[in-house]
Structure 1
Amino acid sequence: MTPAARIAAAIGLLDAWLAGAPVERLLTTWGRQNRYAGAKDRAAIRDLVFDALRCRRSFAALGGSATGRGLMLGLLRADGIAPGTIFTGEGHVPPPLTAAEQAVPPADLPEEIACDCPDALAAVLRDSLGADFLPVMQALRQRAPVFLRANLRRTTRDKAAAALASEGIETRPHPLSPTALEVTANARRVQQSRAWREGLVELQDAASQAVADLMPLPEGGRVLDFCAGGGGKTLALA
């Protein structure tokens, strides 16, 4: 698929999401119904969709509307790409820009819109975060890093990193925990890797690993994980 065809696919998916369909189900169904799209195409389209969801307010402002088309226009402008080079209407690509869409958006967006902060949360977050408000909001606009926990019952962190590296998955130790590895390249390969299949590593945020490390566990005692979700910290404590 060409970059423009990927944009067209993302527009359709975003419009369906805006109409109320769950995004994960949309992406899965689209992949099954469009077998011509390779793994790289599906990954690229997924990235476009989730980039638009994280930056919905700013992309809508830059693109002129809170539609799938408007969000993709905003994404291109945010990335410094002229939308007219993508929206040509030739083949399987989005129709050409309208006169209204060709208008240059304002250079300076209001701060809450530029950092994609919901109006209802802006005052609370500013009060809570203080000087960290903008850095935190900007961080939330980016894809979250992928962290792994090395299973020390089966390996060491260094050996787990080496096993992943042998399959092209690059990692680096993270200072929050002696078991934490941050994936720096090819994160999508992790769950197909031999290291994953053999239980050398599992997905877990570095902060969650640090919480488990810092727990004062009594010998032979019982611990209640009152807010367990997937049970990652519970497993680490066990």
Structure 2
Amino acid sequence: MELIHRNLLIGIHDALQETFFEKNKYADKVIERLLKSHKKWGSEDRKTVSEIFYNIIRWKKRLEYYMGEGAKPGNIYKMILAYLLWSKTKYKKFEEFEGIKIADILKKLEKNTVPSKAIQHSIPDWLAETLEKELGDNWEKEMIALNEQAPTVLRANTLKTTVRELMDELKEENVESFSLKQYPDAVQLEEKKNVFLTSAFKDGLFEVQDASSQKIGEMLDVQEGMRVVDACAGAGGKTLHLAALMKNKGQIIALDIYEWKLAELKRRAKRAGAHNIETRTITDNKVIKRLQEKADRLLIDAPCSGLGVLKRNPDSKWKIDQEFIDRIKDEQQQILQDYSKILKKGGRMVYATCSILPSENNEQVEKFLKNNPDFKLLKDEKIMPSEGYDGFYMALIERLK
């Protein structure tokens, strides 16, 4: 990596400070704002800043061990220095590093050992315990994968283009990519690039969507002319995929409790040329009741711990706790119970999460089926991070009567 300059150092410091110590500040939005406010930084500078920023978030607990103390607001520069030393990144003797005992950090680095698995994999102690309890001996293999950088995968918008055409279009804009055999609409970038600046993006030819996530729309098996409900639509990544699979025919009702997310979905749908989507904000139970037994297909992309997507959201492991997971599991069961009534008899739904915990996944489905004998599991699939993409779970369930 190139030598890091002082204004980059200050930018990284401020972004980390905001992410670690300000409530409801998420890494992706923080770095986006930082890069927007420094338009003079070149592409290499931007790449360096993003890489160091995300790696420090990813390895925070391990870096704290090398630092020999907790990450208090005043210690962010020490954490950056610990990372630069650990990763052998060239740097100048910035004034911000004055007074930091480099020898103490180097002594710990030279030992090349850490006292616990939680420090080794840089996760909170409670999370190491939870992962071991739920995944058994495989948990470390998954954590190693989750600490890698996520690849950039796009979904070709088949309402406007094909995978081949999209790859050609991107190549013209100096973005090299390749298709993925088992994912019909997926295109993976050879290296990270800001694809949002391309005319291909502005023309709605693709959405950024991980390969694992694309499997969910496929599993729902939507057909042209159906009425489909996306019950936890958010900003609509999977909704747009469903619209493309339905070739704009039929109706998709996108629901969410957040109006601003649905507003973003509308913007994205317009760019994608998806015309069969109607958004409805869930303000009360009446919104759900009005839809009872009205849908041929139902997608429940449930709120979850997000532990399957730590590759791209490493800050979330510092923002959640066991209490949050226990609370979200109750919410998942409630959503399954309430929203499943939207399905017509003979209709099918997919329950999906981006978690790797069985207690959020197959155990939730088993519990639901036990309490609802008029539903039947047709198939389910778990995708683990060690397979190369995000960790996801999805279950296809049919309403019998």
TM-score, L = length of structure 1: 0.82
Quick one: distance in 2 between partners of 1:201 and 1:137?
A: 30
2:165 to 147, 155, 159: 159
Do 1:86 and 1:94's aligned partners in 2 also have CA atoms closer than 8 Å?
no
Q: What runs of 5+ residues in structure 2 fail to find an aligned partner?
A: 244-401
SS class of match (2:189): strand
Do 1:148 and 1:201's aligned partners in 2 also have CA atoms closer than 8 Å?
yes
Aligned pairs for 1:163-174 within 5 A: 163-174=169-180
**1:96 Cα deviation from its structure 2 partner:** 5.8
Q: Which residue of 1 aligns with 2:107?
A: 104
Structure 1 residues 219 and 99: alpha-carbon distance in aligned structure 2, compared to 1, 3 A threshold: closer
Structure 1 residues 58 and 233: alpha-carbon distance in aligned structure 2, compared to 1, 3 A threshold: same
Aligned pairs for 1:167-206 within 5 A: 167-188=173-194, 190-206=195-211
**1:125 Cα deviation from its structure 2 partner:** 0.8
Quick one: distance in 2 between partners of 1:160 and 1:36?
A: 30
Aligned length: 232
Q: Which residue of 2 aligns with 1:55?
A: 59
Root-mean-square deviation over aligned CA pairs: 2.8
1:14 to 16, 26, 33: 16
Structure 1 residues 235 and 33: alpha-carbon distance in aligned structure 2, compared to 1, 3 A threshold: closer
**1:60 Cα deviation from its structure 2 partner:** 1.7
Structure 1 residues 89 and 209: alpha-carbon distance in aligned structure 2, compared to 1, 3 A threshold: closer
SS class of match (1:149): strand
Aligned pairs for 1:93-132 within 5 A: 94-95=97-98, 97-98=100-101, 101-105=104-108, 106-109=111-114, 110-132=116-138
Structure 1 residues 12 and 153: alpha-carbon distance in aligned structure 2, compared to 1, 3 A threshold: closer
SS class of match (1:142): coil
Structure 1 residues 87 and 60: alpha-carbon distance in aligned structure 2, compared to 1, 3 A threshold: farther
User: Which residue identity does 1:138 align to in structure 2?
Assistant: I
Q: Deviations over 1:24-58 (max 9, x none)?
A: 66546655665654454244223222221121111
Do 2:154 and 2:206's aligned partners in 1 also have CA atoms closer than 8 Å?
yes
Identity within the alignment, %: 26
Q: Which residue of 2 aligns with 1:73?
A: 81
The structure that has the greater radius of gyration is 2
Quick one: distance in 1 between partners of 2:39 and 2:117?
A: 42
Structure 1 residues 219 and 40: alpha-carbon distance in aligned structure 2, compared to 1, 3 A threshold: closer
Quick one: distance in 2 between partners of 1:33 and 1:193?
A: 20
User: Which residue identity does 2:82 align to in structure 1?
Assistant: G
The structure with more strand, counted as a fraction of residues: 2
TM-score, L = length of structure 2: 0.51
2:228 counterpart of 1:223? yes
Quick one: distance in 2 between partners of 1:73 and 1:113?
A: 18
Quick one: distance in 1 between partners of 2:30 and 2:209?
A: 26
Quick one: distance in 1 between partners of 2:37 and 2:238?
A: 37
Do 1:54 and 1:140's aligned partners in 2 also have CA atoms closer than 8 Å?
no
Structure 1 residues 210 and 28: alpha-carbon distance in aligned structure 2, compared to 1, 3 A threshold: closer
**1:12 Cα deviation from its structure 2 partner:** 3.8
User: Which residue identity does 2:152 align to in structure 1?
Assistant: V
Q: Which residue of 2 aligns with 1:134?
A: 140
SS class of match (2:107): coil
Do 2:4 and 2:92's aligned partners in 1 also have CA atoms closer than 8 Å?
no
Quick one: distance in 2 between partners of 1:129 and 1:207?
A: 19
SS class of match (1:125): helix
